[in-house]
Amino acid sequence: MKKLIAIALFTLSTAASANYYTGNDLLEHMNKRESANEMLVLGYVAGVSDFARGDLHCAPLNVTLGQKRDVVHQRLLRDPSTRHRSASLLVALALMEIWPCEKKSNL
């Protein structure tokens, strides 16, 4: 399982680095309360969330996209030292912190 998580995080970080979209970029869009920026943020969080769900995070099905956005926003504000990193990695980490997946037994 740890190997799968490591591979997924590597994939998320390298895919985003090709576009140079960082946590700073994501936070900038979050702070602009215009509808175009809000849609971009929600789409970005939804994409990473859908990709990582079940392997990297296990948010309940009734958690809204707005809640996920708020969790990511709070993490970006709380830890400015990492905002230069890949936005997709930071979104995945924020979701993992709040909604970790239970460890599966080897039985």
Q: How many helices (H) and strands (E) does the chain have?
A: 5, 0
Q: Which pLDDT does position 13 carry in this prediction?
A: 52
Q: Say yes or no to pLDDT of 18 above 90.
A: no
All domains in the chain, ordered by first residue: 2-98 (1.10.890.40)
Q: Which pLDDT does position 16 carry in this prediction?
A: 46
Nearest to 21 by CA among 71, 84, 94: 84
Most confident listed range (56-60, 70-74, 98-102)? 70-74
3-state secondary structure of 65: helix
pLDDT band of 105, cuts 50, 70, 90: low
Q: Mean pLDDT over residues 80-102, rounded?
A: 95
3-state secondary structure of 86: strand
